[in-house]
A and B are shown apart, each in its own frame.
Chain A
Amino acid sequence: DVKVTQSSRYLVKRTGEKVFLECVQDMDHENMFWYRQDPGLGLRLIYFSYDVKMKEKGDIPEGYSVSREKKERFSLILESASTNQTSMYLCASSFEVPGANVLTFGAGSRLTVL
């Protein structure tokens, strides 16, 4: 079974703190994604990576950055957390298969910024 592991299930941070969310997948997938999920808004793509050191902005990249130094690991960084970044963060990965790209998600990281 493909496994996507997110390092923290629940985090509480203060405004202005730097936050790291880690994601590791064990199936050699090329693609990795960071989404946030908010009630009524669904899942929104923050950043996407299709290879090591390659990244592409999603729909809502402002206030976030990412790092992919190794194929299996994709990190989301909040340089200076703000209260409007309180959300559920979901990491996902997939193979690059034309017409497919089934996503496998991690269990999610629920971030609260006070």
Chain B
Amino acid sequence: RKEVEQDPGPFNVPEGATVAFNCTYSNSASQSFFWYRQDCRKEPKLLMSVYSSGNEDGRFTAQLNRASQYISLLIRDSKLSDSATYLCVVKSGSASKIIFGSGTRLSIRP
């Protein structure tokens, strides 16, 4: 079983739709959680950290469920520019224990 698992997608949704991704992790001692965004042929960039109480940044909402060991990302009112791959990232212990999911590909159509 992978340490961090994501549905690879692709998710193909119309502009303006709401879309949600989940990510599960296997290490219950995991401490920090992030969502990164990666555009085609570009490097990953931090989208947002995920806090225990849940957090929002504009159209993006991240949630953490420690009991079930999953994190989620909700995108409201999706834009064409949201088309990208979204990477779930989990940190456990030292800086070297940063595990990336394989990513969920999102495509927004006009």
| A99, B32: Cβ atoms closer than 8 Å | yes
Q: Is A96 part of the contact surface with B, judged by Cβ < 8 Å?
A: yes
Q: Is B16 part of the contact surface with A, judged by Cβ < 8 Å?
A: no
| A48, B96: Cβ atoms closer than 8 Å | yes
Within the complex, the shortest CB–CB distance from A34 to chain B, in Å, comes to 11
Q: Is B91 part of the contact surface with A, judged by Cβ < 8 Å?
A: yes
Q: Is B31 part of the contact surface with A, judged by Cβ < 8 Å?
A: yes
Interface-lining segment among B57-65, B66-74, B75-83, B100-108: B100-108
| B102, A45: Cβ atoms closer than 8 Å | no
Assembly CA distance A94 to B44 (angstroms)? 14
For B42, give its contact among A40, A58, A100, A107 (CB under 8 Å): A107
Residue of A nearest to B31 (CB): A99
Assembly CA distance A104 to B89 (angstroms)? 13
Assembly CA distance A90 to B43 (angstroms)? 7
Q: Is B22 part of the contact surface with A, judged by Cβ < 8 Å?
A: no
Chain B residues 44 to 59 lying within 8 A of chain A, measured CB to CB, are 44-46, 49
Q: Give me 11 A-to-B residue pairs in the complex whose CB atoms sit less than 8 angstroms apart, sorted by A's number.
A: A40-B102, A43-B100, A45-B98, A48-B95, A50-B96, A96-B95, A100-B49, A102-B34, A102-B49, A103-B98, A108-B43
Which residue numbers of B lie inside 8 Å of A, CB to CB?
8, 31-32, 34, 42-46, 49, 87, 89, 91, 95-96, 98, 100-103
- By Cβ-Cβ distance, the 10 closest A-B pairs, closest first, are A42-B102, A105-B43, A43-B100, A48-B96, A101-B95, A31-B95, A42-B100, A99-B32, A108-B43, A107-B43
